[in-house]
Amino acid sequence: MKINFENIEQLFLNIAETKQYKLLVKKTKKAKKIFLLGNGGLHFVANHMSTDLTRLIEDKVAYSFDSAGFITSNANDHGFENLFVRWLDVTATCETSNECLIIGLSCSGNSSNVINALHWGRDNGYETFMISGQKSEILDDSIEELYYGCQYFHTAEVLCMMIFYDLIYKTGNHCPSIKGEKNRLKDSPLRGKEQKCS
């Protein structure tokens, strides 16, 4: 294989045994609302996983944001380093802070906008957690961090996906098979009789 995934399955198994991962599971189980933050590829991991966490865990709602207008206008007005703080300030403050969990994703561990948002969350009474490819050099020690110690961006991004899917199982839920989901949805009252699952 030409793409180096750094023995990703063993990396994941090692991560799953850490006290930080067990704490992430505990915080995820407790939270009613989860806010996911990331840049670049991890932005899309956050967006994808907010969909699946909400879809597959009945008692939780997960949020990411995908508005280019919000991103560009607020980065212009408040600075890119405060982009996620601004987003949380207009969305998370509508929620009860002790029911919320803010999860930051960063390959380097040093993304200033993610770090600032986690510090904001801590200062405003929200549960916080950092998942990173390498240990952060700037995250405050009061915020728990699970870091992989990997070399490549793609390894960190795929590991994030693996972790979030594992969290679905760890909360007592499951990810359906493609065939199982088709069978489950074929009789959904929300679908018209003329529609078929594809």
E strand spans, 80-158: 100-106, 127-132, 145-147
Residue type, 109: G
Q: How many helices (H) and strands (E) does the chain have?
A: 8, 5
pLDDT tens profile 51-82: 999 999 989 999 998 888 999 999 999 999 99
Write the DSSP symbol of residue 192. -
Sheet holding 33-37, edge to edge: 61-63, 33-37, 100-106, 127-132, 145-147
pLDDT score for 54: 95
Give phi and psi for 173, each to the nearest 5.
-110, -175
Average pLDDT over residues 32-43: 96
Q: Is residue 81 part of a domain?
A: yes
Give phi and psi for 81, each to the nearest 5.
-65, -15
Q: Is residue 16 part of a domain?
A: yes
C-beta separation of 181 from 157 below 8 A = no
Average pLDDT over residues 38-58: 95
Q: Is residue 114 part of a domain?
A: yes
Arithmetic mean of pLDDT over the chain = 92
Q: Is residue 29 part of a domain?
A: yes
Q: Is residue 65 part of a domain?
A: yes
| CATH code, domain with 21 | 3.40.50.10490
Q: Is residue 55 part of a domain?
A: yes
pLDDT score for 163: 96
State the residue range of the domain holding 44: 8-185
pLDDT at 198 over 60: no
Q: Is residue 73 part of a domain?
A: yes
pLDDT at 2 over 80: no
1: confidence class by pLDDT, cuts 50, 70, 90: low
Q: Is residue 77 part of a domain?
A: yes
186: confidence class by pLDDT, cuts 50, 70, 90: confident
pLDDT at 194 over 70: no
Our count of domains for the chain comes to 1
192: confidence class by pLDDT, cuts 50, 70, 90: low
pLDDT at 129 over 80: yes
